[in-house]
């Protein structure tokens, strides 16, 4: 095993231990907490290592890098001689402009960063042309002062209802980005807000059975996110540093 792969394996093991400890503290099952590794800060070598280590849920926050990465990796997997590897599933986690929707749909399995009806409608229209149904999450701005993107907490329920009328979308959950600070506890109120909003939406029968994910928690704050009910963590730095 190369040095990079060993480092990543160790980091993943430590992250999984921390997740298990946070699950134990909050009476949760580790099977209910998934990990998306955000690869925006690394090269193709690290991504290959991830796949070899069995990580298949990957995330990018920029359309151009997402499409480039996905294409490069496809090519590599096609040519690879030493045993087959599972193909990754890409999550788009960054701000998405409507004119980039087509490019994203070519590669992403999940779009976590839907934050307006106009964007949702554009994704729905494009997906309709391909006769497919796209998994999306509604990004909510739960730490109102510090984030530019995401819909307001007060607008989320209604927006969720509208999104659920779009036939080629499947709303699978809510996503939020905690406030950007070094204090891991500072994000907790935002996570609590997202979970409460989620419960309120479930109570109002938004989304149905498939509406079941809370995507929250990054390198600095994932333990708090697990304790507050995250089902998808998006972690980059802690995997590669």
Ligand X SMILES: *Cc1c(COP(=O)(O)O)cnc(C)c1O
Instruction: Give the separation between CA 65 and CA 87, rounded to whole angstroms.
Output: 17
Stretch that binds ligand X, among 102-110, 126-134, 189-197, 231-239 (CB under 6 A): 231-239
Q: Across-strand partners of 151?
A: 140
Binding residue for ligand X, selected from 12, 35, 51, 218, defined by CB under 6 A: 218
What residues from 95 to 154 belong to the interface with ligand X (CB under 6 A)?
none
Q: Please state the φ and ψ torsions of residue 2, each to the nearest 5 degrees.
A: -70, 165
Report whether 141 contacts 102 (CB < 8 A): no
What residues from 30 to 89 belong to the interface with ligand X (CB under 6 A)?
38, 40, 61
Give 123 or 233: the residue with its C-beta nearer to ligand X: 233
CA atoms within 13 A of residue 238's CA, in its CB half-sphere: 21
Residue 206 near ligand X by CB under 6 A: no
Binding residue for ligand X, selected from 177, 187, 201, 225, defined by CB under 6 A: 177
Stretch that binds ligand X, among 75-83, 158-166, 191-199, 228-236 (CB under 6 A): 228-236
Stretch that binds ligand X, among 17-25, 64-72, 196-204, 230-238 (CB under 6 A): 230-238
The beta-strand segments (E) located in the chain are 34-38, 57-60, 89-92, 108-114, 134-141, 151-152, 169-175, 213-215, 232-235
Structure tokens at 230: 């995250």
Give 88 or 236: the residue with its C-beta nearer to ligand X: 236
Residue 235 near ligand X by CB under 6 A: yes
Instruction: Give the separation between CA 82 and CA 71, rounded to whole angstroms.
Output: 20
| Count of other CB atoms within 10 angstroms of residue 223 | 21
Min separation Cβ 54 and ligand X, Å: 19
Residue 219 near ligand X by CB under 6 A: yes
Q: Give contact residues for ligand X (rule: CB under 6 A).
A: 38, 40, 61, 93-94, 177, 218-219, 234-238
């Amino acid at each position: 095993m190369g040095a990079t792969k060993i480092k990543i394996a160790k980091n993943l093991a430590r992250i999984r231990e921390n997740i298990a400890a946070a699950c134990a503290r909050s009476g949760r099952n580790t099977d209910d907490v998934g990990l998306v590794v955000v690869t925006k800060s690394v090269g193709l070598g690290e991504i290959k290592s991830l796949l070899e280590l069995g990580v298949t849920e990957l995330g990018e926050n920029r359309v151009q890098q997402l499409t480039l990465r996905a294409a490069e990796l496809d090519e590599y997997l096609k040519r690879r001689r030493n045993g087959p590897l599972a193909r990754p599933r890409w999550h788009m986690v960054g701000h998405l402009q409507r004119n980039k929707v087509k490019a994203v749909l070519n590669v992403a399995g999940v779009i976590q960063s839907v934050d307006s009806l106009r964007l949702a409608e554009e994704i729905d229209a494009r997906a309709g042309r391909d006769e497919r149904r796209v998994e999306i999450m509604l990004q909510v701005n739960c730490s109102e002062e510090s984030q530019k993107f995401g819909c307001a907490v007060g607008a989320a329920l209604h927006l969720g209802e509208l999104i659920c009328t779009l036939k080629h979308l499947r709303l699978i959950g809510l996503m939020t980005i905690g406030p950007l600070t070094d204090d891991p506890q500072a994000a907790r109120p935002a996570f609590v807000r997202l979970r409460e909003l989620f419960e309120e939406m479930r109570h109002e029968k938004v989304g149905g059975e498939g509406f079941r994910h809370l995507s929250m928690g990054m390198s600095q704050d994932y333990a708090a996110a697990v304790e507050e009910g995250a089902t998808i963590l998006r972690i980059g730095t802690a995997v590669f540093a």
